[in-house]
């Protein structure tokens, strides 16, 4: 009867933790992309901070662009003929 001892006994737990941390990064990137945020930035944050990044992205407001903001007339671009 062989018993698994030492570091090899921890391998399944370490792999599960790694998969959860990587999954946190991927899911944080998905949520960030849906909120019009930088997905790659949130992958890094998700991998670095794990589930804390998921909580953070849940409270970040979507990055919404105002319609017509690029076409706004400023005093410098007004033609005064």
Report pTM.
0.62
What's the rounded Cα separation, in Å, for the pair 50 and 28? Answer: 9
What's the rounded Cα separation, in Å, for the pair 53 and 3? Answer: 38
Average pLDDT on 14-25 reads 90
Residue linked to tokens 């919404």: 64
Asked if the model's pLDDT at residue 75 lies above 70, the reply is: no
For the four alpha carbons of 35, 37, 39 and 42, in that order, the dihedral sign comes to negative
What's the rounded Cα separation, in Å, for the pair 64 and 75? Answer: 25
What are the extents of the domains in the chain? 17-60
Per-residue pLDDT, 56: 85
Chain-centroid distance, C-alpha 37: 8
């Amino acid at each position: 009867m062989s018993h698994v001892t030492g570091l090899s006994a921890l391998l399944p737990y370490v792999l599960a933790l790694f998969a959860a941390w990587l999954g946190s990064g991927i899911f944080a990137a998905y949520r960030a992309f849906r909120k019009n945020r930088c997905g790659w930035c949130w992958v890094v944050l998700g991998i670095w901070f794990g589930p804390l990044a998921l909580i953070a992205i849940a409270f970040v407001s979507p990055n919404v662009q105002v319609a017509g903001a690029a076409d706004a007339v400023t005093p410098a671009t007004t033609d005064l003929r």
